[in-house]
Amino acid sequence: MSATSKESTPVVKDRRRRSLEDLRISVTDRCNFRCVYCMPKEVFGSQFQFLPRSELLTFDEITRLARIFVSLGVRKIRLTGGEPLVRRNLDTLVQDLAKIEGLEDLAMTTNGSLLTPNRAQSLKAAGLKRVTISLDAVDDALFQKMNDVDFSVEKVLSAVDAALDAGLRPVKINTVIKKGLNDSAILPMAAYFRGRDVTVRFIEFMDVGNTNGWRLEDVIPGDDVLRRIDHEWPLEAIAPTRPGEVATRYRYRDGQGEVGIIASVTRPFCQQCTRARLSPEGQLVTCLFGAQGDDLRSLVRGTASDEEIREHLSHLWANRDDHYSELRRSLTPGLPKIEMSHIGG
Ligand code: SAM
Ligand code: SF4
Ligand code: SF4
């Protein structure tokens, strides 16, 4: 482990000199959508075995681990899933996490289906700072084809308004583009959210997990998405809000806001990857494309002290060498990987 002093928090760096700054907590592997690029129905059907409740980390266990992560330099936590809002009493977890001293940002990625105005307000009151809502089309028929559970787009658009009204800002939208499926959504998505104080981030379709039938031919490079939008509404590049930001940012020259491009396949950003990921059952995963994680649940359910867990995490991070996206093209296809709906992006 290499540790240096940055203000009062020791900074642990991995083998590629990347510090540990963000933690993504997946609170459930269940979801009420079956997005075709994430949880295809043929795999995640009625026979699929989701984790039993007893295997999920409890809110107390999650909060304890989160506190230890913050003591190691984490400043930003994002709740994700599966769909985080299907986990019961999530406000309680938000409340507990928001109290952690030293934590600067607490966000959530959600499909928005359960984000009613009341829910948005109660999450805000509990201490959630902001939300990212995933939405892959504004056309209702296309959106229903994407979520594959006949969920209407109106409800998600209302969730965006609910988030804005509740002050869960800045509100961002994640839009995954898959060639031949929803590339027709690029311009309508940009058109709808321009001037609405909401940033759409277009994400390249990724080869996460082993069930979504990913092929490189189905990826529309972020640069193409950018060109299409720029042709319609000229854009200019702007600086990242913070070092290591995964989205490249562009501003509409006519002042109607901005868009982001997350080109994880064509422009890997492994060198800036400062994220650790905690799965619902307490596995620590240091790369989105990992095959398995390190079992933290047995530590939190055993006799290990906070200091022992801290040492363990510090050691794990210091030995991290992940850079899958930089290697993608040279790797054997079909390597076992954790599903996106399990670890949460
Ligand atoms: N259910 C929540 C949601 O959809 O916002 C949170 C979990 S979801 C796995 C997190 C993010 O991963 C979403 O924005 C989703 O669009 C994105 N995602 C899922 N599968 C993907 C894939 N194959 N390539 C790129 N992004 C993907
Ligand atoms: Fe569910 Fe999110 Fe995956 Fe869609 S992307 S199936 S909403 S976990
Ligand atoms: Fe981080 Fe792994 Fe993605 Fe590279 S491939 S950016 S190391 S999660």
H-helix segments, 99-152:
117-126, 140-147
| Confidence check: pLDDT of 4 > 70 | no
Q: Is the CB of 38 under 6 A from ligand 2?
A: yes
pTM of the model as a whole: 0.95
| pLDDT tens column, 289-334 | 888 899 999 999 999 999 999 999 999 999 999 998 888 877 777 7
Task: Give the model's pLDDT for residue 8.
Answer: 59
Q: Which ligand is nearest to the CA of 322?
A: 3
Closest atom of ligand 2 to 341 CA is: 8
Beta bridge partners of 19: 13
Cα–Cα dist 272/243, whole Å: 8
Question: Binning pLDDT at 50, 70 and 90, where does residue 9 land?
Answer: low
Region for 150 from its dihedrals, namely left if φ exceeds 0, alpha if ψ lies in -120 to 50, beta otherwise: left
Average pLDDT over residues 260-280: 95
| pLDDT tens column, 52-81 | 999 999 999 999 999 999 999 999 999 999
Q: Is the CB of 212 under 6 A from ligand 3?
A: no
Indicate the average pLDDT of the chain: 94
Q: Which CATH class is domain 6-173+273-343?
A: alpha beta
Q: Which ligand is nearest to the CA of 218?
A: 1
Q: Is the CB of 39 under 6 A from ligand 2?
A: yes
| pLDDT tens column, 106-128 | 999 999 999 999 999 999 999 99
Closest atom of ligand 1 to 136 CA is: 16
- DSSP character string of 34-71: --TTTS-TTTSSTT--PPPGGGSPPHHHHHHHHHHHHH
CA 235 to chain centre: 25
CA of 342 to the centre of ligand 2 (A): 10
